[in-house]
Amino acid sequence: MEAEILILRHQLNIQRRHLPKRVAFRAMDRLIFVALYRLVPNTIKALTIVKPDTVIRWHRAGFRLYWRWKSRHRCGRPTVPLEIRRLIREMSIANPLWGAPRIHGELLKLGIEIGQTSVAKYMARRRGPPSQGWKTFLRNHADGIVAIDLFVVPTISFRLLYGLLIMGHGRRQILWFGVTAHPTAEWIANQLTEVCGWEQIPRYLIRDRDQAWAVQAEG
C-alpha cells in the first residue's frame, strides 16, 4: 500500500511539471477536497496540487455563500412614514408620562396602524440621572455576577452547533459549557440550573445584545 502511494505521488509530481502553475478547479473538485478535509483532517497532508490553506479558504467561502443565500432579503416590514414618526416624537415630548403602550393606543384611535415596538423606537429619548459605569458595577458586584454567551460552530454540512459558555466573574473561571444543535429557552434554563445546583443563584446575569437571545425568549 505504501509503495502504491509513493508511485501515485511520483506520477502527480511528473504531471505537475507539464501543467501550468495555476490549475483551474471546478466547483465539484473543490467540494470533494473540502468534504475529505472535514471528514478526515489528516488527508490535508497528502495535498500536492493545491495548498492546504486554499482548501480551508474554500470551505470558509462556501459557508459564507450558503448563509448569505439563506439570509437573503425577503419581503420585510414597510417603513413608517415621516409624518407618523414626527407625530410620535411630538406626542412623547408633550406627554412625558406616556409610555409606548399609551401612545400606541392613541394612534390606533386615530386610525394609524403601527406596532408598539415601532412606537417605542421613534419616541423621544429622555436622559435620566447619571448611573455608575460598567467598570464600577463589575468591581462592586463581581462575586454575584455570571456572564453567558452563545457562539456558533460550522460543520461540513453547513449546519450550526450552538455552544453556551457560562463564566463567573468573581474568580474569572468557566462554570459551565454546553453544546446543542437546537437551542431553546428551556435548554438554556436547564444549563443555568445545572450551574447553580443547590447553591445560591447569582444575583446578576450578563449577556450581550445578540438577536439570538430575543429569539430564545420569544420561543
Q: What is the mean pLDDT of residues 187-205?
A: 79
What pLDDT is recorded for position 157? 84
What pLDDT is recorded for position 88? 92
What pLDDT is recorded for position 20? 61
Prediction pTM value: 0.39
What pLDDT is recorded for position 75? 64
Name the residue type at position 9. Answer: R
pLDDT bin (cut points 50, 70, 90) of residue 212 is low
For 49-107, the pLDDT digits (tens) are 667 787 778 888 888 888 888 877 666 667 888 999 999 999 999 988 888 999 999 99
Query: Is the pLDDT at 174 greater than 70, yes or no?
Result: yes
C-alpha cell at 148: 453567558
> Any idea which of 103-112, 122-131, 178-187 has the lowest mean pLDDT?
122-131
Rounded (10°) CA dihedral 50, 52, 55, 56: -160
What pLDDT is recorded for position 68? 82
List, as one string, the DSSP characters of 165-181: EEEETTTTEEEEEEEES
Distance of CA 107 to the CA centre of its chain: 36
Better-predicted residue by pLDDT, 186 or 137: 186
Q: Which among 186, 165, 185, 183 has a CA at the least distance from the CA of 175? A: 165
pLDDT bin (cut points 50, 70, 90) of residue 198 is low
For 9-32, the pLDDT digits (tens) are 776 776 666 666 666 777 777 777
Cα 103 to Cα 97: distance, rounded to the nearest angstrom: 10
Q: Which residues pair with 150 in a beta bridge?
A: 164
